[in-house]
Amino acid sequence: MIEIIDLHKSFGKNHVLRGVNLKVDKGESVVVLGGSGSGKTVLLRQIIGLSKPDKGTVMIDGIEISRLNENELNEFRKKFGMLFQSSALFDSMSVWENVGFALRQHTKLHDAEIKEIAREKLKLVGLVGVEDIMPSELSGGMRKRVGLARAIAIEPEILLYDEPTTGLDPIMADAINDLIIEMREKLNITSIAITHDIKSAYKIADRIAMLYNGIIIETGTPQEIKNTSNPVVRQFIEGSAVGPIVLEGVKR
Amino acid sequence: MFIIKAIESLGSAVKYPVEETGRIILLWCSTLRWIIRPPFYIRNTFKQMSEIGVNSLPVVLITAVFTGMVLALQSYTSFKRFGAEGLVGSVVALSLTRELGPVLTALIVTGRAGAAMAAELGTMRVTEQIDALETLATNPIKYLIVPRFLSGLIMLPLLTVIADIVGIIGGYFVTVVIFGASKVTYIRMTWDNLELSDIYNGLIKACFFGAALSLICCYKGFYARGGAEGVGRATTGAVVLSFMTILISDYFLSAWLFV
């Protein structure tokens, strides 16, 4: 279970997270919605311990992640898989080496066995026959899939998705959505996705949380969010430029 | 009012370099800490050693041979004015082992391998590959910086030895083959006046330069910010700061080792 309690984070004068509270149960799929610059990515980085909070805590299975030392944190991270917005594949390694990276680091398996596992994981995300090519030769959608295969290679309990559908065409985006649902069903993984793609959120979420002005202003099932009376959430899901949400640097 | 302004601008001018020095030292400390802790990325280290050492060798060879040749050319023609051509061998050997071997090798390695290091790590940073390493439970300092640091430390003295030898051969070629001076005098002068301490003190310098340049270039790349432009800035910064560090520390190291 993931529990975020009163989380604050600033960058200089920019107070990005202003007391985020969020609970994610085991096996649940939560989508955090929010506009550009709302601090979604900052929140995700806090959960996996890539940066430390100024105030507040992130508890994962009862352990406070910011209290862990370097070694404990590394050990702890084996519970996680993360899919980056840009996929963040290692461009000096072939596809199978990317997927098998964590196995190579943390197990004593031979390369042949790792390659076999990588091939299996790639098949799980719908890729066949790409093991030996380099990431630079892949399309955006394929890179996302390889990134996902890499994230699930050491069988994590928690998967984090940073804007999984951003930058993909609608069909590929939907295919990735299906894949996220499949991961949850097949592997029984707890997942947190951040996105501004409403359609994707409706599809993959058990629960949606809306991040605005550094706090979670509303949570609910997709159905509840669809019928919300909160004007900010309304404006966001309707995708209207007119409403209570102030666009930074834009005058109306 | 004016005085406060002046102090303020002095303060802000000093703040950045002091901060940066501090952060480089911190990175150095954690690099040292990770060197002795397993796992050891031996394959990575060998790859970097070949990147820094083997791939820099051709440029180092060419630079060293021509440096030795021009040293011999200049000192032969000048020393001839007061009839001291016989000393050319010593001048070439001493200048190369004590000074030019380590410094030129370090500058070349910075320009070739150091810049590449900064650009590579910078690109990895801005494309989130370093974050990805962390999420895969791999410490990026251990995985990326330790192998580069060790390779710099090990390969620089090796390249310097080769540069010293090749430079002396270049000097021999100009003095003996082109100017027709005595072969025996050149070799004798080289052999008799060169002490072991000249060579190993030069190599101590090379070790220091190798460690410094790899650490600085890694630092600049590792903390790069802001897309392609940021990577460019990091690379330029890495080369400039390494050059300055090499040339400035060279003076102090020489004062300490040779005086």
- Catalogue all structural domains in chain A, each as residue range(s) with its CATH number: 2-238 (3.40.50.300)
For B183-216, write each residue's pLDDT tens digit: 998 898 888 888 999 999 999 999 999 999 999 9
Rounded CA separation B161/B202 (Å): 9
Q: Which whole number is the average pLDDT over A21-39?
A: 88
Q: What is the pLDDT of residues A174-233, one digit of tens each?
A: 888 988 888 888 888 899 999 988 889 999 999 999 998 888 988 999 999 888 888 888
**Arithmetic mean of pLDDT, A7-26:** 89
At residue A241, does pLDDT exceed 70? yes
The answer to whether residue B47 scores a pLDDT higher than 90 is yes
Reference B73, options B229, A173, B65; nearest CA is B65
Quote the CA–CA distance of B210 and B108 in Å, as a whole number: 11
Band the pLDDT of B152: cuts 50, 70, 90: very high
Residues of A in contact with B39 (CB under 8 A): 105
Percentage of residues in chain A having pLDDT higher than 70? 97
Structure tokens at A212: 């605005």
The dihedral through the CA atoms of A140, A142, A143, A148 has a sign that is positive
Looking up tokens 């990770």 gives: B34
- With a cut of 80, say whether residue A249 has pLDDT above it: no
Name the residue type at position B218.
Answer: C
Picking from B127, B136, B139, the nearest residue to A102 by CB comes out as B136
Is residue B129 less than 8 Å (CB to CB) from chain A?
A: yes
Q: What angle do CA A130, A136, A122 make, to 5 degrees?
A: 30
Give A50's contacts in chain B (Cβ within 8 Å): 131, 134-135
Task: Give burial (CB, 10 Å; 0-12/13-18/19+) of B19.
Answer: exposed
Closest residue in chain A to residue B126, using alpha carbons only: A88
Of the pLDDT bands very low, low, confident and very high (cuts 50, 70, 90), residue A110 is: very high
Q: Which of A183, A169, A115, A114 is nearest to A141 (CA)?
A: A169
* Residue A248: predicted pLDDT: 64
Residue for token digits 């703040």? B15
Question: How, if at all, do strands A207-212 and A215-220 pair?
Answer: antiparallel
Give how far Cα A101 sits from Cα of A40, A53, B223, Å: 27, 28, 23
As a whole number of Å, the end-to-end CA separation of chain B is 47
**Residue type for B86, please?**
G
ipTM of the complex: 0.87
Q: Quick check: B36 pLDDT over 60? A: yes
Mean pLDDT of chain A: 88
Q: Which of A152-161, B79-88, B239-248 has the highest mean pLDDT?
A: B239-248
Q: Which residues contact A71 (CB under 8 A, 6 or more apart)?
A: none
Convert B52-84 to b/e letters by CB count within 10 Å (16 or more is b).
bbeebeeebbebbbebbbebbbebbeeeeeeee
pLDDT band at A38 (very low <50, low <70, confident <90, very high): confident
**Cβ-based burial of B248 (10 A; exposed 0-12, middle 13-18, buried ≥19):** exposed
Nearest to A44 by CA among A214, A181, A161: A161
Give residue B174's pLDDT. Answer: 94
Look at A105 and B127 and tell me if their CB atoms are within 8 Å.
no
Q: What is the mean pLDDT of residues B75-104?
A: 91
Is the confidence at residue A120, as pLDDT, over 60? yes
**A185–chain B nearest CA distance, Å:** 23
pLDDT at residue B1 tops 80: no
Binding-site residues on chain A for chain B (CB distance < 8 A): 45, 48, 50, 70, 74-75, 77-78, 80-82, 84-86, 88-91, 101-102, 105-106, 150-151, 154
pLDDT in tens, B166-177: 999 999 999 999
Per the structure block, which two tokens stand in for A103? Answer: 């196995």
Q: How far apart are CA B139 and CA A174, in angstroms?
A: 34
Q: Is the pLDDT of residue B123 over 80?
A: yes
- By C-alpha distance, which of B85, B72, B20, B47 is closest to B178? B72
Reply yes or no on whether the pLDDT at B40 is more than 90: no
Please count the residue pairs, one from chain A and one from chain B, whose beta carbons lie less than 8 angstroms apart: 52
Distance CA B142, CA B140 (A): 5
How confident is the model over B105-122, as pLDDT tens digits?
999 999 999 999 999 999
Mutate to test the interface with B, among A91, A103, A154, A155 (most CBs of B within 10 A): A91
What's the mean pLDDT when you consider all of chain B?
Answer: 93
B87: number of Cβ within 10 Å? 16
Closest Cβ opposite residue B128 in set A48, A81, A86 = A86
CB-based contacts of B99, cutoff 8 Å, min separation 6: B202, B250, B254
First-to-last C-alpha distance (Å) of chain A: 43
Q: Which of B124, B132, B137 sits opposite A105 (nearest CB)?
A: B137
Give dist(CA B159, CA B206) in Å, integer: 9
- The answer to whether the pTM exceeds 0.90 is no
Q: What are the extents of the domains in chain B?
A: 42-258
Is A84 close to B136, i.e. CB distance below 8 A? no
User: What Rg do the C-alpha atoms of chain B give, in angstroms?
Assistant: 22
| Confidence at residue A251, expressed as pLDDT on a 0 to 100 scale | 57
> pLDDT at residue B6 above 60?
yes
Q: B58: cis peptide before it, omega within 30°?
A: no
Nearest-neighbour CA in chain B from A74: distance (Å): 5
Task: Supply the pLDDT for residue A27.
Answer: 87
- Phi first, then psi: give them for residue B145, nearest 5 degrees: -85, -40
Contact between chains at A88 and B136 (C-beta distance less than 8 A): no
B139 and A CB contact within 8 Å:
yes
What number is the average pLDDT over the span B25-34?
A: 92
